[in-house]
Amino acid sequence: MAGSRSYQSVSRRELVKLAPVLAVGAFAVPSLQPALLSRGVELSDWAAARWFRRGHLAPTFPDASVVPLNRFPLNSYLADDPGVDLEAWTLRVDGEVSTPGDYTLERIRGLTPVKQNTRHVCVEGWDVIGSFGGTPIATLLADAGADTRARFLAFSCADDYYESLDMASALHPQSLLCYDMHGAPLSREHGAPLRLILPTKIGYKSAKYLTSLTVTNVLSRRGYWADQGYSWFNGL
C-alpha cells in the first residue's frame, strides 16, 4: 500500500510538470487549435471582466501631450467615409429603455458634455493621445430611461461595422459618445457624426459612424472582430 501511494504521488507531480508540454503538444494538432484558441480568448475575457473596476479611471493627459490631428492614425472598416448624410443623421436608441427614439446630434450635444485627453491603443501595436469631447454613454442611457440591469449595449454603424459592450463598461465615466475631436466637430474620416471613445478598451471597440444603440440582455452578434475570433471584452 505504501508503494502504491508513493507511485500515485509521483505520478501527479510528473503530470503537473508535463502540463505545459502537453498544452504545447495539443496546439501542434491542427484539429485542436481552433477550440483551444477560442477557450483561451474566453478565459482572457472572463478574467478581464472580473478585474474591471467601474470607478477606476484611465490616465488623462495635459493638452501639450495630445498628438496633432494629422498624426492621429486612421483605421477604417470599409472606407474612411461611408457617406453619412450628416443633416439627416440620427442615433436610434431602443431595447430595454422606457423612452426609445431617435436622437439628433443637437439633442446629444445638449446632454452633459465632457472633454478628456486619453490614450487610444490599437491592437496593431501603436497608441496616441487624443482630445475627445462628447457625452458619457451613461448620461444618454439615463436620458432614455435605460434599464441598467440589462447586460449589454449593441451598436450598429453606417459602414456595416458593429460592436457591443457589457453594461459595466458602458457606464464607466470615461466611455463616451464622441462628437468632437481636438476641439472641433468630428471629421468624416474619424467617424462623424458620432463614434465611441473607450479609453479602458482596445481601439477596435471604439466603433465609428454610429447609427443605433440597443440595450439588451441577448447579443445576436458580439462585434465584428470578436466574431472573427478576437477578444470581445478587450480591457486595458
Residue ranges and CATH numbers for the domains of the chain are: 2-41 (no CATH), 57-228 (3.90.420.10)
Confidence of residue 6 (pLDDT cuts 50, 70, 90): very low
Q: At 111, is the pLDDT very low, low, confident or very high (cuts 50, 70, 90)?
A: very high
In this predicted structure, the answer to whether residue 152 has a pLDDT above a threshold of 70 is yes
Share of the chain above pLDDT 90, in %: 72
Picking from 26-35, 58-67, 116-125, 154-163, which range would have the lowest pLDDT averaged per residue?
A: 26-35
And the C-alpha cell for 48?
Answer: 478581464
Q: Is it the case that residue 144 has pLDDT exceeding 80?
A: yes
